[in-house]
Every structure is written in C-alpha cells, then in structure tokens.
Chain A
Amino acid sequence: MAQPMVLTAGRESRGYFGTVARRFMRHRLGMVSLCFLTVLVLLALFAPLLTPYEPNKLVGKFSEPPSLQHLLGTDQVGRDVLTRLLYATRISLLVGFAATGIATAVGVVLGLVSGYFGGWVDMIIMRFTDMVMSFPYILLVLVAAAIFKPGLWNIILILGFVDWPGVARLVRGNVLSLRETAFVKADIVAGMPTRHTLFSEILPNTIAPILVYATSVVAISILDEAALSFLGMGVQPPTASLGNMLNGAQSLTVLTSKPWLWAPPGVMIVLLVLSINFIGDALRDAVDPRNIR
C-alpha cells in the first residue's frame, strides 16, 4: 500500500505539464516525430547557412541529374533543387503555423464568447459556424484563392479563416461544461471581471484539447497549401513552395525521366505532415486524463 502512495506523491510534485511531458515521452513514434520535425525546422530556418546557392538564382545547366555539386540536381531553368527544397519547407512550415495561429485565435475567441454568454450571441455565432462548415471545404478555399491574388500571405489568411469553425465548436463545448464548475461560479459570485473569468480561468483549462486540435490544423494547412500551389492557385513562382515544385511534374517528360524534380518535394510534404500528425496523436494520448499508463 505504501508504494503507490509514494508514487502519486511523486506525480503531484511534477505538476500537470510534467505529467503530460512524461506521458508524451513514453510515446515512441511521437518522440521520434518530434525530434525529426525539430531537425526539419532547424534545416529550414538555417537554410541560407547550409547551402551555397540561392533559391531563385540560376546556378547550373537545365535539369541536371543529382551530382556532388547539386545533391538533388537542378530544375528546368537551372536552379538548385535541394536549396529550393529547403526554402520551400520554410514556406510550408510558415503557412502551417501561421494559418493555425489565425484559425486558433479566431476560433478560441468566438468559442469562448459563444459558450460563455449563450443566448442569442451563441445562436448567431453557431449558425455562422454551421454555415462556414457547410461549405465544401475545397470549394471555399478555391473560390477564396480566386478572389484574392494568389500569394503567400493571402494563402495564410484564407486557410486561417477557413479552419476556425472546428476550434470554435471545440472551445464552446468545453466552456459549456466549465461554466458549471464550482471555480467559475465562485469567480462570478466574487464579482470578478468577465475578461478575467474567460481568459484566466476558463481558457487555461481548455488549452490541452485546443493544442491537440491545432496540430491537426497545422497538418491540414500544409496539405492545403501544397494542393493549392500544385494547382497554380497558391504560392506563386519564383518563390519555391513544396506544392509548386510538384506542379512541373504534371508534364510527362518530367514525370518519366526526371524524378529528382518531383519526388523530393512530395516526400518532404509526406514526412512533414506525417510527423506533425504523430505528434498530435502522442499529445492526445498524453493529455487524456483517462490514460493511466
């Protein structure tokens, strides 16, 4: 009997985030993915130091196969593919995290307001959420991309403003159940300002599910940016993006005889999205209070 009690005491002293971190580290795939993603982020961040070439400068012959000078060869106009790949990864990560940041901010505010105040405010916000969710996702993105001139920041804004309804619903649901808890009621009785109750009491208690959901939004945003750029409606050349690097592969000669032009960006997207998804999965397990492993 004594031993388990000591164990619980140990857990308590670590605190919530200590417990979550410990559980996360148990998840092998999640840990591997986290390390891998960190390496990718560092590679992308320090791209200018790592490669002697510039992404948009012509540095060799057209469509040269991989060699010692150009580890992944050169593209149709003679730019270094590896350099472009690193810069494109930068763009993808930027799109993924920035779009998620926007979607989460919008979703959290609307969800908090909707869940806390209820009534007609809740009804209007939720009907609007339903409406945005009722759009066929890809149609909305495509139409939005057609309205605004395609480009990096517009893509980020579009994806950010398309992805928020999920966050809003999640937050609203959590707020509804938290509103009934004693500590929130105590706040109200004590006459605390609403702002304090919302952001300092309710929000911290719903961070975990938001974080888990946000990882999947990062993954989806990266995939969507790639698809849009692939269709020519996303990040515009000469800026390299993983999607528009693949765009060239639609021609049969590239597809057949120049795999170094299309395989690396494709594999990079898969690896990025896969590792983010695994991290999200590990995080989900780690923050789930019913998981006692």
Chain B
Amino acid sequence: MMRYILKRVLIAIPVLIGITMLDYLIMSLAGSPLSMMTGPRVSQAALEARAVQLGLNQPWILQYFTWLGQLLQGNWGYSIRTYQPVLTMISANLGPTLLLMGTSMALGFVIAIPVGVYSATHQYAKGDYAAVTLSFLGTSIPSFFLALILVYVFTVRLGWLPSGGMVTLGGGGGNALDVARHMVMPTLVLTASLAGSNIRYIRSSMLEILRQDYLRTAKAKGIGRYLIINKHAMRNALLPIITVAGMELPMLIGGAVIVEQVFSWPGLGQLTMSAIMSRDYPVIMGVSLLSAVMVVVGNLVTDILYAVVDPTIQLK
C-alpha cells in the first residue's frame, strides 16, 4: 500500500508541473499585470523598471522556472497588487471556502444518497419521476439566478436573511449563529446543483447494479427486498459514490467562484476572481497550484478508497 501511494505521488509530480506550466503560459498570454498600472502619472521608465523588478521582461518559460524554484524553497511569491505573501492571502481565504463548500458537499450527499437509491429501486414510479425531475431542475438552474431568487424572497420580501458577506459588520456579528445565517443562502444554491447531479449519478449506477446477476441470485435465494437493497446493492453502490466524491473534491477549492461573487463570501473564489481581473500572476498561480494538487489528491484518495471498499481490487 505504501509503495503504491509513493508511486502515485511520483507520477503526479510531472502532471503537476505540466498543469502549472500550462497555467503560466495561458496567464502570460492574458496580458501583463503592468497594463493594469498604466495611467497618466506613471512614466514609461517606471513601468520598465517594475517589469525588470518582477522579471516580466523575461520569456514566460524562464519566469515559470523562477516561480517553480522559489516555490520549492517554500516561497509562494507576493501579490503584485497588495504586496502580501500569496500563502497568507490563500490561507486567509481558504477557511470560508472550505466551510461553505464542505457543508454544501456534505449536504449534497446526505440528500442525494437516499433519494438516488429510492429513485432507482422505484424506477418509473411517481416518486422516481419527481426525484429525476427535481434533480434535473437542480442542475439546470444557473447558480446566480437561483441566488437572485433566494435574495429576492429571503432578504427583500421576508427580511429573514442577510444578502451577502460572512459576518454582520459592526457590533453583534461574528459568532457561529451569525455566520450560519449568512451561510444559508449560498449553501442552498450550491447544494441544489450538487445534489441534483449526485442524484442522477447515484440513481444510474444503482440501476446498473440492480441489473447484475448476483442480485438476481440474491433475490432468488429469497432473502427479502430490504436485505437485497441495503446490504447487497448498497455496498456495491459505494464505489460509484466514492468516484463522484473524488471527482468533486477539487470543487472544494474552485467550485464556488460565482456563488461567492454573488453573495460576497470572503473565500478563495473572490480572491481568484479579483486576481484574474487584475492579472495578479503570483496569486493566480497559487490558486491554480492548490486546485491542481486537489485534483491529484482527489484521484489518489479515490483509488485508495476503492481498494479499501472493494477487496477484489489490489493496488500495485
């Protein structure tokens, strides 16, 4: 097992280098951060001096290796816009995003697993149609539109919930209850789409499993519907559930850009969006690296959990 994990981590390194290199290339095509600094009071000479200072006068591949070299020494670089260390900025924004996405993803599964299993075991019944229709609605509604509807209902009409931010500014804000109140709407929006796609995925993989021969055998043995579904079918449905969870893991980092934007949630999505807008290379690279690592970790965790859940899979 240890050897397998080590091997996978070693394979992941070139992939990570490839991803970040591609990131850097795309980013440098996007334009220089200096173009955001020009103005009547900035002289050409000052811009050139800054370009030399930031190393922007070099070809992108050299800039990339400079960045990589710094990173290997533990230096994630400094924001071109705020002069803060990138690592500090990311860790300040990571907490809120993890809280928001973690809650939404957990809720997404808590809702989707029972609904998906029910839907599959009652295929073509009324409940199945309702579940399928609702799950399609969840994936078809744009997150920003659902957000607007929720703000309209709960903030404008009913006045129950705050429309944005994470804590109430001024006195009285900042405790857990206050944060929870701010979290309700963004969580609902994210959960709607996550649960929607999860339900469809779990339903179709459960249907696939219910068609298998071993389930017909179990049925023929006469062990009863309850045991068939909850013991024989559910255990095998764990694999596809792990697959979705692994695929969704990277969304912990980058899944809430639009929702964070609409609800001004102070997370990584906001940081990313403003970094992209101001071409803040070091920050964009930091976030990209983090999400690329999450993709690799997600795949690795999925494979390890496979072996844990399914004894027929041997990791080599």
Tell me whether A143 and B140 are in contact (CB under 8 A): no
B21 to chain A, nearest CB (A): 9
A251 CA to B132 CA, complexed, in Å: 34
Least CB distance, B153 to chain A, in whole angstroms: 11
Residues of A within 8 A of B141 (CB): 269-270, 273
Contact call A139/B272, Cβ cutoff below 8 A: yes
Residues of chain A within 8 A (CB-CB) of B258 are 138, 227, 230-231
What is the number of residues of chain A that contact chain B, defined by CB distance less than 8 Å? 40
Scan residues 219-251 of chain A and give those whose CB is less than 8 A from a CB of chain B. Answer: 219, 223, 226-227, 230-231, 243, 246, 249-250
Q: What's the Cα separation between A143 and B29 when bound, in Å?
A: 10
Q: Are B144 and A255 in contact (CB under 8 A)?
A: no
Q: Which residue of B lies closest to A254 (CB)?
A: B148
Question: In the complex, what residues of B have CB within 8 A of residue A256's CB?
Answer: 152, 156
- Stretch among B54-62, B225-233, B288-296 lining the A interface: B288-296
* CA–CA, A142 and B275, complex, Å: 11
Would you call A139 and B254 a contact (CB within 8 A)? yes
In this complex, how many residues of chain B approach chain A with their Cβ under 8 Å: the count is 48
Q: A143-B27, A147-B29, A256-B156 are in contact. Are A266 and B136 (CB under 8 A)?
A: no
As a 0/1 sequence over residues 268 to 293 of chain A, the CB contacts with chain B under 8 angstroms (1 = contact) are 01100110011001000000001000
Check B140 against A274 for contact (C-beta < 8 Å): yes
- Does A135 lie within 8 Å of B145, measured CB to CB? no
Residues 118-152 of B, flagged 1 when their CB comes within 8 A of A and 0 if not, give 00000000000000110011011111110011011
Q: Is A262 an interface residue (CB 8 A)?
A: yes
Distance in Å: Cβ of B178 to nearest Cβ of chain A: 21
Whether B291 lies near A246 (C-beta < 8 A) is: no
A147 and B15 contacting across the interface, CB-CB below 8 Å: no
Cβ of B287 < 8 Å from any Cβ of A? yes
Min CB–CB distance B104 → chain A (angstroms):
15
User: A262 near B148 (CB under 8 angstroms)?
Assistant: yes
Complex: how many Å from CA A127 to CA B26?
18
Contact of B273 with A by CB under 8 A: yes
**Chain A residues with CB below 8 A from B262, complex form:** 250
CA distance A259 to B273 in the complex (A): 28
Q: Is B140 within 8 A of A131, CB to CB?
A: no
Contact, CB under 8 Å: A134 / B296: yes
Contacts of A136 in B (CB 8 A): 250-251, 253-255, 288, 291, 295
Give chain A residues whose Cβ lies under 8 Å from the Cβ of B148: 246, 249, 255, 262, 266
Note all chain A residues with C-beta closer than 8 A to B140.
219, 223, 270, 273-274, 277
B-chain residues with CB within 8 Å of residue A273 when the two chains form the complex: 140-142
Within 8 A of A (CB), among B6-30: 15, 18-19, 22-23, 26-27, 29-30
Contact among B26, B29, B142, B255 with A266 in the assembled complex (CB-CB below 8 Å): B142
Contact call B156/A255, Cβ cutoff below 8 A: yes
Report B's interface with A, CB cutoff 8 A.
Answer: 15, 18-19, 22-23, 26-27, 29-31, 132-133, 136-137, 139-145, 148-149, 151-152, 156, 211, 250-251, 253-255, 257-258, 261-262, 272-273, 276-277, 279, 284, 287-288, 291-292, 295-296
